[in-house]
Amino acid sequence: MAVTGPQKTVLQTVSVVVLMGGLAWASVPFYDWFCRVTGFGGVPQVVGGGGDNILDQTIKVRFDGNLNSGMPWSFKPVEREMEVRIGETALAFYEAHNPTDRPIAGQASYNVTPYSAGAFFDKIDCFCFTEQVLAPGETVQMPVSFYVDPEIVNDRDGKYVHTITLSYTFYEIDLPEGYAALDAETATDLN
């Protein structure tokens, strides 16, 4: 059976719509992967361990903490900034507090500015890799372990970076299954 003019046009239109929908669907995970691999957009690199090459040159790292609208926690860096040797593993802490009468789960998104430093800011371990659940009234200090890759001093743009800001934004997420039952139990106890 041959496809006629109008049928061919409809078939081509449907094909284009399906193709465009597929590309739109795939663009978000592809962009996320691209940013994590290249450091584009200030996304830090995730590494398995510290570096071997520690330079005498230092760099200032500033810490910033924010909350997405509607997130009831308080969240801030314990230390606002630190001076670290390039290549040296450093440890910083952020503090979160749940002032409510219910458990709340949160997830942190992060970035680094200036964006050119993202490819050189290497995280070894971070509270942002997993969801965090705080019980009612609970306060916790959450660590982030990192180093600045010595290659930053050889990079065309990176060699002019003297201060890096690591910024986190916490947003509320659904409670994990075990905590959801606890939340329901807490709500029943309050009534």
pLDDT tens, 82-120? Answer: 999 999 999 999 999 999 999 999 999 999 999 889 889
**Eight-class DSSP state of 101:** S
Name, in order, each residue with C-beta under 8 angstroms of 105's C-beta and a sequence gap of 6 or more: 131, 132, 133, 172, 173, 174, 175, 176, 179
Mean pLDDT value of segment 160-186: 83
- What pLDDT, on the 0 to 100 scale, is given for residue 35? 47
- What pLDDT, on the 0 to 100 scale, is given for residue 11? 79
CB 94 within 8 A of CB 126: no
pLDDT at 183 over 80: no
- Give residue 12's pLDDT band: very low, low, confident or very high (50, 70, 90): confident
Higher-confidence residue of 189 and 39: namely 189
pLDDT at 180 over 70: no
CA 124 to chain centre: 13
pLDDT at 132 over 90: yes
Do you find a cis peptide bond into 114, omega within 30 degrees of 0? Answer: yes
> What DSSP string describes 36-100?
HHH-GGGPPEE-SS--S---S-EEEEEEEEEE-TT---EEEESSSEEEEETT--EEEEEEEE--S
- Of the candidates 111, 106, 115, 156, the one whose C-alpha atom is nearest the C-alpha of residue 135 is 106
Distance CA 116, CA 133 (A): 33
Distance CA 161, CA 114 (A): 8
- What pLDDT, on the 0 to 100 scale, is given for residue 39? 44
Phi, psi of 64 (to 5 degrees): -135, 140
